[in-house]
Amino acid sequence: MMMKASLYEKAGENVVCLVCERACRIRPNLYGICGNYQNVGGELSHIGYGILSAIESRPIEIKPFFHYWPNSTALTFSGYGCHPSFYNTRRLRDFKNIWPVVSDEF
């Protein structure tokens, strides 16, 4: 599912993604370094919108609200996005195979 992003600036036919500090300058029909944002017709689109990369139940002691309910669990979920560990995790980087046309310019 594609969703139009709001954090970008137009730069001619390119767009500058402002979602993270990398500020990728993305040419038409190509993707940012995270592989999660694409320039579609001069607008930035979030291609991973609504797609989860992980969902699990984790001990609450590792969460910032560990004192709330000791010895319980919290549901943890995440999506693909701009996080430094995302760039280094081969398993998550392979998600681009979900979409048929992806630039190899990561």
In-domain check, residue 42: yes
**pLDDT of 66:** 62
Which tokens go with 38? 């694409």
In-domain check, residue 103: no
Count of the separate structural domains present in the chain: 1
Parent domain of 11:
3-98
In-domain check, residue 61: yes
Question: Using one digit for the tens of pLDDT, what is the confidence trace for 51-86?
Answer: 888 889 988 888 777 677 788 888 888 877 655 554
pLDDT at 36 over 60: yes
Instruction: Tell whether the torsion through CA atoms of 82, 87, 92 and 96 is positive or negative.
Output: positive
**pLDDT of 23:** 92
Cβ proximity of 26 and 20 under 8 Å:
no
**pLDDT of 1:** 72
Work out the average pLDDT over 16-26: 91
Work out the average pLDDT over 78-95: 55
Cβ proximity of 53 and 92 under 8 Å:
yes
In-domain check, residue 105: no
